[in-house]
Amino acid sequence: MVKKLKFPCSFTYKVIGISQPELTNNIIKIIQLHIPGDYIPKIKSSNKGTYLSVSVTIFAKNFKQIEKLYNELSKIHLVRMVL
Phi, psi values for residue 22, rounded to 5°: -80, -10
> Would you call the peptide bond into 21 cis, given omega within 30 degrees of 0 as the criterion?
no
70 pLDDT higher than 90: yes
Contact yes or no for 58/13 (Cβ under 8 A)? yes
The predicted pLDDT at position 1 comes to 67
pTM, two decimal places: 0.91
How is residue 59 annotated by DSSP? E
Radius of gyration for the alpha carbons in the chain, expressed in angstroms and rounded = 13
Contact yes or no for 81/52 (Cβ under 8 A)? no
